[in-house]
Every structure is written in structure tokens, then in C-alpha cells.
Structure 1
Amino acid sequence: MLWLTLIRVRVPPARQVRTKGPDHMTDQATQVTSSESTSPSTRSDEPLTQRITSGEADLDEFRERLTLWLAGRDEVDSDAGVEVSAVSRPESSGMSNISVLFDAAWTPAGSSERQSAQLVARMCPQDDAFPVFPVYDLQKQFDVMRVVRENTDLPVPRVRWLELDPAVLGTPFLVMDRASGRAPVDNPPYVFDGWLLEMDPEQRREVQRESLAVLAAIHQIPQPAELVSSLAPAPGMSALRAHVDEQRAYYEWTTREDGLTIPVIDRAFDWIEAHWPDETSPDALSWGDARIGNILYEGTRPTAVLDWEMATIAPPEVDLGWFLCFHDVFQELAVAFAFPGIPDLFEHSEVVEQYEHLTGSGKSYLG
């Protein structure tokens, strides 16, 4: 099977599009807290999530709402007291969601042992935000992160709570443990500057091996359609057919409003249909946005695997293709601007050989 990566294109009229970065916050994120409490009578009528995005958020209000919500959960002993502190907005976050950092301390119901954690509230975009996805599915993210964490040794942040009622913070949200580490950046791409470029070749080879081990572990989770039933293709439909149809629908959604067509993508879909494979690799849990920009590292070791909005079930080559394509695009940009880039990273045949060794598959359909 030959792989195809569809570049997601959405051109907003008269709006600035931010480069999508990893939707995570590290311990090095700048702490921004409210300098004084604001009374409810002086607060803006705008939704809390909108004020967080615009920089006008009253973080004390966020803390108050989150404290009440956490104290009201059945698994928390409200009589023992709940503390939410160190609320801050990260310097940057991903394009597709809003995230707020905070610390919390609470006592579980039926226990006398106090717990505390550094957490992230990951919220759905507000209704009037420029959409990256037709539907922002927090339930899917919560389920997939839980499944990967429970079925692998990968450092996927623990997801603690999911709240689908928008009344609490103005939009549904999930709460997960905060991760630490550093990610290869997208803007400017890591091939232009940064810690990967500063590593020696052997260190970069280790980053490559460790990153491919992340993919291999995800793809070896058994029976993913049973573990995350919402990802299962319709009866009688192959996972590859469901995935390609979903990408075609996404492409049509991104261009429908402006009446655009992108000939190279149209031709790619035609090519796929004309060369539909007779067989594929066994279906696997697909990370979706599989790239090193969504992994945090300490040295060469992954410390967090993030961003599961695009998770699905598909042949593993879908992830491998996306993984390689991102680096190829960045490397080609570097060469176009007369930079050396990192040509020794993610060479295709070497990646395939390493992946097949990690999975023991002995065969992949990556052309």
C-alpha cells in the first residue's frame, strides 16, 4: 500500500492563522496570574473561554469555578477542602483548543490521604472560534489517551476527569496531568534552529529510534476497535476505506465555504482510487497526528506523547506516512532557504527497517 498524507488546508478570510504547535504545556511555561480579584459585577459578559483566548480572562474566576466543580465530584471529599492555585495561561498552545495550567489539592472520598497534582484543563474551542475540525471530540481524546496509557508503557499524560457540560467553564473540558519536556518546534521548523539541530548524529539517531518505538507501541495495542468502539469503521467497511472517506469529507469541509479546489489533492484522491490495494497491513490504533512535534523529550527520551484529536483506526502506514511527510516538508523548506536542515534524520528506508524490527512485522506497505 502506498501512503498518502493530506495537508489540511483551511484559509480563513481576513483572519490570521497560527501555526499549530503541540497542545501541551511544560513546567517551564510562564506563570500568569491575576493580580487582584475581580467582582462578578465587573466581569465581562463574554464567555470565560473567550476571555482566556483574548488575554482578558479573569483567572480568579476560572479558579473559583474549577474549585467548585472539583469539590462537587463524587470521588472528591468536599468536606476536606479543595484547593486550586497557580492558574496560568501558557505562552502558546495548539491551534485547535484552549489550555489552562493549574495546581490542585484534594482528598479522595473515603480516604484521609491528601492528593495534589500539576494539571492542565484542555477545553473545546469556543463556538465562534475559527474551526480546525468539524467536530471537536473531547470524549474520543479522553478515551484514546486512557487506552494508550493503560495498554502500553508510553508516557501518555494521565487523564483524570472529563466534563461535557459547558456550564462549568463555558465549554466542555478534560483535565489531565501536566507533562514536562521539550518538543521540536514547528515555527520556525526544528530543521532551522533548536536543540535537535545542536545534537550530534548519534543523539539524533537515538531520537529517531525512540520516536519510532512510540509508533510501534501504539500500533501493537490489541483489538483497538473493541477498546475504543467509537473509532471502529462501519460494519462491512475496511478501516482504510473509512479513513480515506473521512479525509475526503474533511477536504470538502475545508473548501466548501470558499468554493475552493486544490488540484493536487483532487488528483491524489483519484490516484488512490485507481491504485486501491488488494491487501493492507492489519488495522491498528492510529495516532493520527503522528510526528515528533507532538512528543516531549528529555535528552533523547520521550517524556510525553500528546495530541490525540486525529486518532482513528487505520493501517499503521498511515501514521508512518504522516510522520515522514512532516519531516520531509520541513527539510525541503530548509534546503529551499539555503539551510542544511537535518538530512540524516528519518531517512525512509532506515525508518521502515527500524519500524519493522520494532514491530516484528517483517513487512510494511510503505512506498
Structure 2
Amino acid sequence: MSNVIVAPEVRDLSRLADQLGRWLAVQIPGAQDVRIENLAYPFGAGQSHETILFDAAWRQDGRDVAQGCVVRIRPTRHTVYPDTLFEEQYRLMHLLHDEGRVRVARPLWFEPDAEVLGAPFFVMEKVKGRVAVSVPPYAQSGWVAEATPAQRARMWENGVRQLAAIQSTPLDKLQFLAGPAHARDGLAQEWDKYVRFVAWVQEDRPWPVLERAIERLKSSWPANQPAGVVWGDARLGNMMFDETFEVVAVMDWEQPSLGGALHDLAWWLFISGMMHGALPGARPTLEGMGTREETIALWGEVTGISTADIEWYEDFTALKICCLSIRTAGLRGHPLPDEAWLAQRLKVG
């Protein structure tokens, strides 16, 4: 498998090591001889935030300390989303780690001052594991494709159970994720976010197909709107697994909201269909992966939340993905999506 760096931008890592070393010496009381080593961009992931792995070492109270770290830097130019929820992302990870129901990397430090690295950033603990990358697609090559059906079945089940565990997070502790006054939480908050996204991508040129999709979704508004937290990019590729195919970290919390429990399930289903063929009524192209129907059943069993109207949320996910496709194509200088392709995805003729 070829290793591909996917990042919004890259920087001089030797200079970054110096910057992080000076900064870390201030963050750790009594730290001496701080060293930053082994800086590297992760392979196959990290398209919206600049994310860099490194190892830190120092002396403290007469002993040697070593800590594997990841720094995540707020985007300043190649912004994928209209909303920058950088501090909210860190606070959510901190809460999830403290609650212990969802496995997230331990947050270590948050730096709001852009003077240090050119933008705010945070550092979290580096977790050892493997990621089902998108570039190259995990269904075509790499450890997921090479796994046995039994191993993939274990990975799928553990992944869905962690996806479900997110909805056990107490919402009263998550009010920092509330939206604007007219769309504080629930479906109204998530809907408001993506209506604004549609307007944002149309600042360069009109996309009538997106407007038709909004009208179609409004005309079939779902009755089932369970409360819940939104992870935002809920997919297998944003989980890290150990050698036993157990989830060791759930990653990339950059677009959270209080928008409701079914958005993440719908996103997971949509991406599973794209990446390994888990489509309605079909067996996945990777043997061992659960079907769409099995995923819905397991998630519903674990959460106790009704999955009625999930098809509407999947159609809403299609609108979200189309907005992202337009935005990321423009950022990378790639050809914009074909309107006929978008119309097919959005079921608007």
C-alpha cells in the first residue's frame, strides 16, 4: 500500500519542533531539557485540519518523562466548513475522555494564542493503533482489505457500538455546543448549519440542485427527531483500532452539535455504502462487514433510540456530502462535481 499524506497544508517540521519545544517548556511546571522528536504527518487522513504526530521528552523532578503527542492546528486558509468549532472540539473531547464511555485520545493542552504557531492549536495524547484510511481506499488495499471476515465482523461491531456510545453522553454537560438563538439544538441546529453551508458554497456560483434538495427535504420533514449529540464525521475511517480489532480512539470531532442522535447513524450508513458497499438490501463488498440493516438494528439496540425516518436523515447526509464535495474540490483546484451526479445523489431528478 502506498503511503499518502493528506493535509490542508504542510510546514517545516524542524521549525515546528523548535516552536513546540519552547512552548511545552512553559506548559509543564519544572520541565527541563524538553525535546521534540519524530514529527510526521499521518498517512491517508487529515484533510481539514493540519494534524502532526510527535514525541516529547523532558526531565521533571529528577526523572525522565516521555509522552507521545498529536498536535492539531486550527485551519486559517483552507477551511472546509463555514463554522470553525475548534475550542468546542477540544472541550467535547475533554468531556468524552472524562466520562469514559467513548474512547477518545486524552486531551493534554489547549493554546488559544495564534502567535505560537500562526493559529490556535491543541495537543492530545498519541494513541497506538491502525486507521481504515480513505486514501487509498481501505476496501481496496491495506490491513482492512487483508483482514479475515471474522476480524472485519469484530471491527464493524466494535465500531457501531462506539458510535452508539456517543449518544450516552449527558446533554446537560454539552450546552457549550448550542447553536445560534434561532437554532439552539435539535434538528433545527443541524439544519441551520447546512442551509448556511449551501449558501456559502453558492457565493462563487449558483447550485440550483442544492436548493431543490433543500425543498425536497423540507417537504418530507421527519416526525422522529430524537435529541442527541452530533459527532459530525461519523465513519469507520475516523476510528483507530488495535491488533484485536477493538476501538482504541474515536477521532475528528471538528463539527459537533446538539443536532440529534440520528445524524451520526445516517452519516455512518452513507459512508459505509460509499466505501464498502453496505447499501440497502445488499451485502457489503468486504465480507464480514455488517449490512446497512444490521448496523441500524445494532445501533438501535445499544442506544434504545428509535431509528424511524432514518431514510430522511440519509438523504440529509447526501446534501451534506454534496456541499463538502463542492467545497473540497474548489480548495484543491479539482473539477467541480457534475450537476447530474449531484442530482442523482440528492434524488432531485
TM-score (norm 1): 0.73
Query: Which runs of structure 2 are paired with 1:246-261 in the superposition (5 Å)?
Result: 246-257=193-204, 259-261=205-207
Match of 1:97 among 49, 53, 69: 49
Count of aligned positions: 301
Query: Which runs of structure 2 are paired with 1:104-253 in the superposition (5 Å)?
Result: 104-106=56-58, 115-125=65-75, 127=76, 129-223=77-171, 226-234=172-180, 237=183, 238-253=185-200
Post-superposition shift, 1:68? 2.0
Deviations 1:306-360 (A, max 9, x none): 10011111222110110010111234599xxxxx832652412211111122123
Q: Distance in 2 between matches of 1:91 and 1:352?
A: 31
The AA in structure 2 aligned to 1:273 is: K
Deviations 1:253-303 (A, max 9, x none): 12312x13051x33331122112233422x112111000000111232112
Is this contact kept in 2: 1:123–1:171, CA < 8 A?
yes
Is this contact kept in 1: 2:151–2:288, CA < 8 A?
no
Are residues 1:68 and 2:18 paired?
A: no
Is this contact kept in 2: 1:321–1:366, CA < 8 A?
yes
Post-superposition shift, 1:87? 4.1
Structure 2 runs not aligned, ≥5 long: 312-349
Is this contact kept in 2: 1:285–1:313, CA < 8 A?
yes
Q: Distance in 1 between matches of 2:278 and 2:295?
A: 21
The structure richer in helix per residue is 2
Q: Distance in 1 between matches of 2:181 and 2:118?
A: 37
Runs of 4+ in 1 over 6 A off after TM superposition: none
Higher-Rg structure is 1
Query: Which runs of structure 2 are paired with 1:269-348 in the superposition (5 Å)?
Result: 269-281=214-226, 283-298=227-242, 299-331=244-276, 341-342=285-286, 345-348=289-292
Are residues 1:349 and 2:293 paired?
A: yes
Q: Helix, strand or coil for the counterpart of 2:241?
A: strand
Is this contact kept in 1: 2:139–2:286, CA < 8 A?
yes
Q: Over aligned residues, Cα RMSD in angstroms? A: 2.8
Distance 1:142 1:252, change over 3 A: same
Per chain length, whose mean CA-contact separation is higher, i.e. which structure has more relative contact order (CA < 8 Å, sep 6+)?
1
Name the residue aligned to 2:332.
none
Q: Distance in 2 between matches of 1:366 and 1:87?
A: 44
Is this contact kept in 2: 1:97–1:122, CA < 8 A?
yes
Is this contact kept in 1: 2:232–2:254, CA < 8 A?
yes
Post-superposition shift, 1:160? 0.6
The AA in structure 2 aligned to 1:246 is: K
Is this contact kept in 1: 2:269–2:278, CA < 8 A?
no
Is this contact kept in 1: 2:25–2:34, CA < 8 A?
no
Is this contact kept in 1: 2:105–2:127, CA < 8 A?
yes
Q: Distance in 2 between matches of 1:241 and 1:350?
A: 29
Distance 1:136 1:114, change over 3 A: farther
Is this contact kept in 2: 1:233–1:239, CA < 8 A?
no
Q: Distance in 1 between matches of 2:246 and 2:146?
A: 16
Distance 1:273 1:342, change over 3 A: same
Post-superposition shift, 1:63? 2.4
Calculate percent identity across the aligned residue pairs: 26
